[in-house]
Structure 1
Amino acid sequence: MESLNLVLCSDNNFILPTLTAIDSILRHNAESFFAVFIVTTGFSQKNIETIDFFSKQRKNQAKIEIITANDDILKDCPIKKGDHVSIAAYLRILLPSILPKNINKILYLDGDIICVSSLLDFYNADIASKSCSAIRDERNNDEEIFNRLEYPKDCGYFNSGVILVNLDYWRKNIIQNKTLNYIFSNKEKCLWHDQDALNVTLAGTVDFADFRYNLTQGFLFDKKQLKIDLKYYPKIDCAIKHPCLIHYCATYKPWHIECNSPFKKLWRQSYKKTFGKNCRLQFKNKGIARIKWCIKLILNTLNIKKYADFRKSIVE
C-alpha cells in the first residue's frame, strides 16, 4: 500500500501539539499508512525520546522521521517582537530541498491543527498542473493585502497552515529560492511571514480547496469581521458543520486559559486521547498582560464593555 506523505514543522515549544495533530490524523484515517516527517532546527533529548515513544506505539500506521534542517538560510527572515510564531514558521519553504527526492507530493500541516474526519479526498486531489492545493484565508478579498504585496487580487490569498504541495512543481520552478528572495527583498511587506511570500510566489498556480480542510478560527465568529466575498459564506457554513481539519491559528491556543475557540474542547479531548491525560492549561499572558486580560474578562462578563477576546461564536 502506498503511503500518504505528511510533514509538520516544529520546535521544542510545540512538540506536544504537533504530536496531537499527527495522532488525530491517524485516528481519523485508520485505513491509511503515513510517512510522517517532523522538520525542526533541533529538538532536546527529552523531545526526541517523546517522539520515539510516540512513533513506536503507532508503527503499524505510520513511519515517523525527524529531519533536522539547517536554519542558517532563514536567519534573515523577519520575526517581529510580539509575533506568536518562531523561525520554524519559515521551514516549510525549505521542503523541496530537505525532503527525500522521491517524494513528489506531500501534505503540510501546522502543529496547531487537529483532524476530525477523513482527509483522503483532499490528499488525493489531482494537482499535477498546480503548485499546490490550499484554502482561502479569512482575508481572501482584503484590498490591503493585494496593495501591499502587489499581485492581482483575482489570484486569491490562501492560509499557509495547510498546503498540499506539488513538490515536483516547487523543485522545477525553484519556488524555494524565489520565495526566500522575495522575503529578503521585501521584509517590510511580509507582515504574515512566509504566508505573504508564498502567496506572491505561487499566485495564479494554486488550486483552492474546500474550507473544511483548513477551518481557521476567524470563520467561527461574526462573518462581518471577515474580509472575504459573500459568495463564500454558504461554503464556510457547510465547512463549520462538517469540518475535517480545524486550525487554531489565533494567538490563544486550546492549551491556553484565554482561548475562546468553540472547538477548544475538541482539541483538549484529542490531546487526552493522544497522551492519556488531560492537557495542563496555562495562561498565555504573563505579568501585567495577564492582569489586563482578567480585567477585560470581568468588564465583558458584566456587560460594561465588550472585547474581541471574548466575542461570541456563531457555532452552535
Structure 2
Amino acid sequence: MAVEIPGGVSVNSEPLVLVCAADNEFAMPLAAMLASVMANLQTVDGVALFIINGGIRDRNRHKIQQSLDLNRITITWLEPPLERLEGLKVQERIPIASYYRLLIPELLPPQYSKAIYLDSDLIVNADLGQLWQLNLENHALLAVQDPIIRTVSNRNGLANYRDLELAPDTPYFNAGVLVLNLSVWRTQNLSRQILQYLVANRDTLRWHDQDGLNAILAQRWGQLDPRWNQLHIIHKYRSWQESPYPESTYRAVLEDPYIVHYTTSSKPWRVGCQHPKRDLFYDYLNLTAWSGWRPTRWNRGLRKLERLQERFRL
C-alpha cells in the first residue's frame, strides 16, 4: 500500500525486507551499511531487517542496535543451521558466513515472498526503496552483471561452464547485491540445488557461493542497473572506452553510484585503504555507535586479537 506525503513522494507502508549476514569481524561495517540504508530511505515507511548471525558478539550486537532507529526498523537475529553447510569449501578470505545468503528462503518466515540481500562491505548511497519496488517478474533474482567477470567463460568465471552446457557469452553476476524472489526459490528448491552443486564441484570453484549461484541460476536472473553495485574496478579505467560500458553508463556508475561495494581486501576500516570512496564509509560510520572510529595500527592490533580469540574460543 502506497501513500502520498508532502513533496509528491510516494511512500509504501509495507516494510522493505532486508537480509544481511556477518561474523564478528564485520559487525562494524555492517552497522555503517545499515546506517547508510536508513539515512537514504524515502519511499518505504520501514524495514524488516534479518541478520544472519555468524558469531557477532553480544557487545557488538548491542552497538548495532544502538546505531539504528528502532521506530523505523525491526531487527530479527537468525542463527544459521550450520549442518546445512557441511562439506562446503572455506578459505580465510571467504568464510562460512559467505554461504549464509543461500539459506535466506528457508530462514525467513513464509509470508515473505521477496527480500533484498546486501553484503556488509558496502555503502548504500541512494533510496533502497527504489530497488525494492522493481518488478521481479519470474526471475529467481535481480543482480548486477560483474564488470570484471562479465561472462561464465571469463578466465575467472565458471571453470566448468562447458560441462554445464552454458554458452560462452552467458552473463555472470556479482552476488553482493541481490533482490531475491523467495517464492521461486522455495518452489524450485534452489537452495538445495546450489548447495549440492557447491559440494560436488568444490575443487573447481573460484568464487565459492557466487559460482554456485551463477551455475544454477544461469539465464534465470534479471539484470540491474550497474549503479546498484559499483565495484572498485570502475576507478581503474582511464576512460569509458576501457570499461565494459557505453559512455553514459560509465559516467553514471563512476560519478553517481547507488551502492559502493568495497570488494577488494583494501577496505576502509583497514589501515592503508586508498579507495576513492573511503570517506563515504566514515560519513555513515559516524552515524553509528562506532562514531569517530578510524583504522589506526592500535585498532588493527585489537581486531587481530579479537580474531584470535574467536578462533580459539577464548
Q: Taking structure 1 as the reference length, what is the TM-score of the superposition?
A: 0.82
Is the alpha carbon distance of 1:72 and 1:223 closer, same or farther for their aligned partners in structure 2, counting shifts above 3 Å? farther
Give identity over the alignment, percent: 25
Contact 2:145–2:171 at 8 Å: present in 1 too?
Answer: yes
What's the counterpart of residue 20 of structure 2? 8
Q: How does 1:163-202 map to 2 (within 5 A)?
A: 163-202=178-217
Q: Taking structure 2 as the reference length, what is the TM-score of the superposition?
A: 0.83
Contact 1:133–1:207 at 8 Å: present in 2 too?
Answer: yes
Query: What amino acid is aligned across from residue 83 of structure 2 in structure 1?
Result: D
What's the counterpart of residue 125 of structure 2? 116
Please list the CA deviations of residues 74-106 of structure 1 after superposition, one character each: whole Å capped at 9, or x if unmatched.
1321123xx423110000001111111111110
Contact 2:268–2:281 at 8 Å: present in 1 too?
Answer: yes
Is the alpha carbon distance of 1:79 and 1:236 closer, same or farther for their aligned partners in structure 2, counting shifts above 3 Å? farther
SS in structure 2 of the partner of residue 50 of structure 1 = helix
Contact 2:22–2:120 at 8 Å: present in 1 too?
Answer: yes
Structure 2: stretches of 5+ with no match in the other structure: 1-12, 302-314
1:140 matched to 2:150? The reply is: yes
Please list the CA deviations of residues 3-30 of structure 1 after superposition, one character each: whole Å capped at 9, or x if unmatched.
0010100111111111110110000014
Distance 2:179 2:209 in 1: 16
Q: RMSD of aligned C-alpha atoms?
A: 2.4
What's the counterpart of residue 268 of structure 2? 254
Structure 1: stretches of 5+ with no match in the other structure: 287-316
Q: Alignment partner for residue 252 of structure 2, among 238, 248, 264?
A: 238
Query: What amino acid is aligned across from residue 70 of structure 1 in structure 2?
Result: P
Question: Larger deviation: 65-74 or 203-212?
Answer: 65-74
SS in structure 2 of the partner of residue 120 of structure 1 = helix
Query: What amino acid is aligned across from residue 34 of structure 1 in structure 2?
Result: V
SS in structure 2 of the partner of residue 49 of structure 1 = helix
1:59 matched to 2:74? The reply is: no
1:26 matched to 2:35? The reply is: no
Distance 2:16 2:100 in 1: 20
Contact 1:127–1:133 at 8 Å: present in 2 too?
Answer: yes
1:48 matched to 2:61? The reply is: yes
SS in structure 2 of the partner of residue 275 of structure 1 = coil
Is the alpha carbon distance of 1:53 and 1:143 closer, same or farther for their aligned partners in structure 2, counting shifts above 3 Å? closer
Please list the CA deviations of residues 268-296 of structure 1 after superposition, one character each: whole Å capped at 9, or x if unmatched.
1211122362222046999xxxxxxxxxx
Distance 1:233 1:136 in 2: 17
